[in-house]
Amino acid sequence: MPWQNCERREDMYLTRMELDTDKRSTRRLLSSRSKIHGMVESAFAGGRERRLWRLDSLGGRLYILVLSEEKPNFEAAVREYGNPKEGFLTREYESLLARITDQSRWRFRLVANPTQSISRASTGQRGEVRACVGAEQQESWLKKRAEKNGFTLEEGGFRAVGNSWHIFHKREEKDGAVSLREVSFEGVLTVTDVEKFKELLCRGMGRGRAYGMGLLTIMRLP
């Protein structure tokens, strides 16, 4: 299923919902990326389009961010997993996209699944896809993808700030387990190609995008 192309969508929406980790149902939800994926999908009435999402901690609270091409309805999710007093907040994404200009500088946060393809020594062909390990490999992965996605990174201007493994089953327990390494990056970037960068914001980066990885968020610097 193809990921949405930002240039072809009239509307994009960014939604934030606080998760109440004191609820037993929320703790069960957080035990599996597949369960969270299902919760996100249940908030949309349309077909099974690809949506970007990730978990963020802020001020001791846990939130889920969702980027989508249609407005979600998280009312049922708020009752089961969230904070009814806070509800959920949805904003149009176009106001942010409209502010992106060539050479503009932004503080960013990216949660991604950096991987590398290990070539077979006998044939030289691309082989097994493995997670990048160590900060050097992970940061190199991001630098290699910067230019083709319309931005640059200054040396020492960003870093990997978090690493964790997620192991889960996609559907039934009898299915084979999926293992994804999640890496959080933070830093400052400079936009060099506005259209490519906008597309990246809507499409996401790397593998694991259905399971909470790939969403890049930005905040403009003065």
Task: Quote the CA–CA distance of 187 and 209 in Å, as a whole number.
Answer: 21
Predicted confidence (pLDDT) per residue in 108-117, tens digit: 999 999 988 7
| pTM score, whole prediction | 0.87
Domains of the chain in start order, with CATH, are 6-96 (3.30.70.1200), 101-220 (3.30.70.1210)
- The tens digit of pLDDT for each residue in 21-74 reads 999 999 999 999 989 999 999 999 876 677 999 999 999 999 999 999 999 999
Strand partners, 220: 106
Average pLDDT across the chain, whole number = 88
Q: What tens digit of pLDDT does each residue of 107-154 get? A: 999 999 998 877 665 555 566 888 888 889 999 999 999 999 999 999
> 105 is written with which tokens?
């500088």
Helix (H, G, I), strand (E, B), or coil: what is residue 93? coil
